Amino acid sequence: MDTNVNVGPTVPILTTAAVMAAIVGAFYGSGAAGGTPVQDAAQGRLGADSTLLAPGSGAFSIWSLVYAGLAVYAIWQLTRKARQSPTQRRLRPLAAVSAILNALWLGVVQLNWLGFSVVVILVLLLVLIRMFMLMVKNPMESAAERWIMWATFGPYLGWVSVAAVANIAAWLASLGLGRDAPWIETAAIAMCVVAALIGAGTVVYSRGHVSVALAMIWGIAWIGVGRSDGGLTTATVALGAFVSAGILLVFAAAAAWRLRSAEPTTKRTTVHP
């Protein structure tokens, strides 16, 4: 049985350093500090018009939310309350690894190593999935802890889930797979549907937390936007993406309301993201 044990400063400080490295890497990867913007790196294969599953350029603004949340988390997890949390003792190393992988992905893309970027983002996705499972299974002792963790790592997981699909599609396209194939639009729509199903599954598994699903709705909808304008338009895929995002939105809202309503009153002391 876990008891509150004050963790020494080493791991929290290393976690903060890892998160800050990821934020600095993102600043460089955006092109603001001399790096090549991600959409232009890897011969432009990660741009908004690179594949049928590439989200429109506006989708990437969600990173501002994710990085802001990570910055808040990095500072908060240094506090005495966080250092006494047995849940944070499990989650903190994974949060640090996720930040390192995030920075590594940006570095790999800057080097135009598209295939390796797929490996990195899939490992990042697995780390975030593990965090998600631990967040569901382990109690959080304060409203601050619940809000910071779910408002940060929920959107983080949701967006990386969609980004991983787009990354894989870009890599496969670079190998010439599916180029001008008659089934390519059907496959793109199928992937949007699968993403929506995964988003719905996160709401059910987490007993009503919607932050992962909301980020996935954002990403899927922006795939629809990307296929509605720009240099790679297709009404079929755009419609499939918008419908998938819309259905997931309705399901997430309904499922969250029903699951929360079924909780004992004593457990519903705060609203969770």
pLDDT digits (tens, 9 = 90+) for 70-105: 999 999 999 999 999 999 999 999 999 999 999 999
* Residue 264, pLDDT score: 58
Locate the domains of the chain by residue range.
Answer: 9-259
What tens digit of pLDDT does each residue of 55-76 get? Answer: 998 999 999 999 999 999 999 9
* Residue 267, pLDDT score: 47
Which helix (H) or strand (E) segment holds residue 95: the answer is: helix 86-110
* CB proximity list for 81: less than 8 A, separation 6 or greater: 141, 142, 144, 145
* Residue 173, pLDDT score: 92
Long-range (24+ apart) CB contacts under 8 A made by 206-209 are 206/132, 206/135, 206/136, 207/136, 207/259, 207/263, 208/255, 208/256, 208/259, 208/260, 208/263, 208/272, 209/136, 209/150, 209/154, 209/256, 209/272, 209/273
What tens digit of pLDDT does each residue of 226-253 get? Answer: 999 878 999 999 999 999 999 999 999 9
- Would you say how long the chain is, in residues? 273
Note the Cα 39 to chain centre separation in Å. 18
Q: Answer for the pair 116, 108: CB distance below 8 angstroms, yes or no.
A: yes
Confidence of residue 6 (pLDDT cuts 50, 70, 90): low
pLDDT value at 219 more than 90: yes
DSSP for 176-200 reads TTTTT-TTHHHHHHHHHHHHHHHHH
pLDDT value at 153 more than 50: yes
DSSP for 140-187 reads --SHHHHHHHHHHHHHHHHHHHHHHHHHHHHHHHHTTTTTT-TTHHHH
Buried b (16+ CB within 10 A) or exposed e, 119-135: ebbeebbebbeebbeeb
* CB proximity list for 217: less than 8 A, separation 6 or greater: 199, 245, 248, 249, 252
pLDDT value at 269 more than 50: no
Closest Cα partner for 170 from 117, 244, 224?
117
pLDDT (mean) for 160-180:
91
